[in-house]
Amino acid sequence: MADYRVPRDDMQFLLQDVFQVHQDWSTFAALAELDIDTAQAVIDEAGKLAETLIAPNCRAADEEGVSFQDGRVTTPKGYREQFKQLAEGGWVGVTANPEYGGMGLPKSISAQYEEMLCAADISFSLYPGLTAGAIMTLDLHGSDELKSTYLPKLIAGEWTGTMCLTEPHAGTDLGIIRSKANPLDDGSYELSGTKIFITGGEHDLVDNIVHLVLAKLPDAPPGTKGISLFVVPKFLVNADGSLGERNGVHCGSIEHKMGIHASATCVMNFDGAKAWLVGEPHKGLPAMFTMMNYERLGVGIQGLGAAARSYQTALEYAQERLQGRGAKATQDKAKEADPLLVHGDIRRMLLTMKAFVEGGRAFSTYVGQQLDRAKYSTDDSERERADALVALLTPIAKAFLTDTGLESTIIGQQVLGGHGYVREWGQEQLVRDCRIAQIYEGTNGIQALDLLGRKVVGSRGQLLQPLIADIEELLAEPQQELSREYEQLAAAVDLMKATTSHVLEQVANGDENVINSVAVEYLHLVGYVSFGYMWLRMAKVAEPLLTERAYLGSKVKTAKFYFARLLPRIESLAVAIRDGSESLYLHENGEF
């Protein structure tokens, strides 16, 4: 597997120049002392771990995988040490509450850290990733007692966390879960049921695992409004914080999967396990969604990280591999062939990856900035606006970063030809590992339904406004160099508005099926428009900096590529969306 190098320059450019996140920080009480140099140093430290400790072990860990015997899961060689070093660096609690030992860094920084970790090894990244989600959920919804019992250990990386939602018969449809929790006299509960696809449900990295579990109380109303959230530790915790007896939760087996072979995906059996309620009875789903939303940007970043690494390898290969001849003027007669990079189709592939990777990095930083404003701003209207943007952008971040991530990693294989299909260069592993990110934490189809149904139609289109306003603010200051692209983005926004109105009309006309019939294409349309916005923002900021920073040379050029070759995909998407549900419901169920 090729080496991984953290794209420090690009991350710095985004944080400092494009989004100027430090200007936000200076207005947030909790972050007032953070400056951009500290942030950069922090990123640099994480980058060293990713580059020198985690990435080099990625292929070996994939080949060894996790193994299961007698209820125990063994992780690949090196993982314990990697996790230990990550925990010691404070990275498990990178955004966590400082009151319990967290670093309390903003999400805009954490997004860069997460990208590195995913680029280095998606399987490994899941152990700290799920733990971070559990930390956030407990911090927001747990009682003080639960928090003081679990948070310090989770944040320090001495224990890890999971989220237990899916059951054999209930994946997307959580309303029909069957796990039950019965109250005990001491205020705790006895929880029973089977959960599947539990990432990190069992492993040997740390001494205790803290499961966050959805289950139903005896008096639960039916459906999603009768689901409660519980914490179920693998080992009970004594009053002094030491580990007590083994709880009634056990791993029954692990899954054999296409990829993320080094991540333990477990069937977890809860047999009267001792459990504690988190938050209010029957309000587990909204509480779990705190975690889901946090994870969803994180899952999007998995797609981005895989794509970023695949791009590095593909570019390196295309620069070094000599094969065929370019245009006459560019031929190097001293060699028997020219580098792959001279060929138009290779450049098309590399630029597609580059446009998705750097556009995606900008987008995840943009979402991170909104998450920070929503969390830290003391200005009510800024906070509300950021909240609205987060609601809108989260499903896009999850689905569009993973869809473009998969497309990028597949292209990254193709650039290497047969060498992309064999394990040696690592390109095929990135495809396999990236693929799951389109599925878990709510499939990308579900993200699209969330975006178009709950968010856009649910607000009668109003939730799009802050995004449109941000884009129009940029478009209000056109510049000569990219005038064609400015016009194109304006037209794309108009198309997005018109398409949205069309869907709203069909809904108003009583078509119950239309939202779920066009949601995926709609999410892609908004995704391409958003990436267009990212590319123009970056190009605009890069231009005056070109002379001082050579690495920015390609920003304007890649923006032009994006507008010429990728943004036009919205034309076809808009036509498909306008068809509505009609062509999908001609078939009777038995007629396929």
Which residue stretch of 34-42, 372-380, 541-549, 550-558 sits at the interface with a second copy (rule: CB under 8 A)? Answer: 550-558
Total residues interacting with a second copy, rule: CB under 8 A:
99
Contact characters 154-173, a second copy, x per CB under 8 A = ------------x--xxxxx
> CB 563 → a second copy: shortest distance, Å?
8
Comparing CA positions, the residue from 178, 142, 177, 144 lying closest to residue 161 is 142
> CB 393 → a second copy: shortest distance, Å?
20
Among 99, 280, 487, 571, binds a second copy (CB under 8 A): 571
Strands 208-215 and 159-164: parallel
* Residues 430-449 close enough to bind a second copy by CB under 8 A: 431-432, 435-436, 438-440, 443-445, 448-449
Which residue stretch of 142-150, 297-305, 541-549, 564-572 sits at the interface with a second copy (rule: CB under 8 A)? Answer: 564-572
If one asks whether residue 418 binds a second copy (CB under 8 A), the answer comes out as yes
Among 205, 206, 227, 570, binds a second copy (CB under 8 A): 570
Q: Which residues contact 183 (CB under 8 A, 6 or more apart)?
A: 189, 217, 218
Among 32, 184, 322, 508, binds a second copy (CB under 8 A): 322
Among 8, 343, 383, 502, binds a second copy (CB under 8 A): 343
Distance CA 127, CA 73 (A): 13
Which residue stretch of 43-51, 135-143, 229-237, 578-586 sits at the interface with a second copy (rule: CB under 8 A)? Answer: 578-586
If one asks whether residue 315 binds a second copy (CB under 8 A), the answer comes out as yes
Contact characters 79-98, a second copy, x per CB under 8 A = --------------------
If one asks whether residue 519 binds a second copy (CB under 8 A), the answer comes out as yes
* Residues 180-219 close enough to bind a second copy by CB under 8 A: 196-197
Rg of the chain over all Cα atoms, to the nearest angstrom: 24
If one asks whether residue 324 binds a second copy (CB under 8 A), the answer comes out as yes
- The token pair at 223 is 């459906």
If one asks whether residue 568 binds a second copy (CB under 8 A), the answer comes out as yes
Q: Based on the number of CB atoms within 10 Å of its own CB, is 222 exposed (0-12), middle (13-18) or buried (19 or more)?
A: exposed
If one asks whether residue 409 binds a second copy (CB under 8 A), the answer comes out as no
> CB 26 → a second copy: shortest distance, Å?
35
Say if residues 262 and 123 touch (Cβ distance below 8 Å): yes
Distances in Å between the Cα of 331 and the Cα atoms of 327, 341, 402, 405 are 7, 12, 38, 33
Long-range contacts of 246-249 (CB under 8 A, 24+ apart): 247/273, 247/274, 248/272, 248/273, 248/274, 249/211, 249/273
* Residues 221-240 close enough to bind a second copy by CB under 8 A: none
If one asks whether residue 115 binds a second copy (CB under 8 A), the answer comes out as no
If one asks whether residue 499 binds a second copy (CB under 8 A), the answer comes out as no
> CB 340 → a second copy: shortest distance, Å?
9
Angle, CA 39 vertex, CA 33 and CA 43 arms, to 5°: 155
3-class secondary structure per residue, 40-80: HHHHHHHHHHHHHHHHHHHHHHHHHCCEEECCEEECCCCHH
Helix or strand or coil: residue 201?
coil
If one asks whether residue 557 binds a second copy (CB under 8 A), the answer comes out as yes
CB of 39 or CB of 449, closer to a second copy? 449
> CB 409 → a second copy: shortest distance, Å?
11
> CB 380 → a second copy: shortest distance, Å?
37
If one asks whether residue 262 binds a second copy (CB under 8 A), the answer comes out as no
Name 160's bridge partners.
209
If one asks whether residue 132 binds a second copy (CB under 8 A), the answer comes out as no
Distance CA 108, CA 39 (A): 10
Helix or strand or coil: residue 244?
strand
Q: Which residues contact 486 (CB under 8 A, 6 or more apart)?
A: 475, 478, 479, 536
242's enclosing H/E stretch is none
Distance CA 335, CA 322 (A): 8
Distance CA 39, CA 45 (A): 10
> CB 237 → a second copy: shortest distance, Å?
31
If one asks whether residue 331 binds a second copy (CB under 8 A), the answer comes out as no
CB of 81 or CB of 424, closer to a second copy? 424
> CB 287 → a second copy: shortest distance, Å?
22
Comparing CA positions, the residue from 283, 287, 293, 295 lying closest to residue 391 is 293
Residues with a known catalytic role? 441
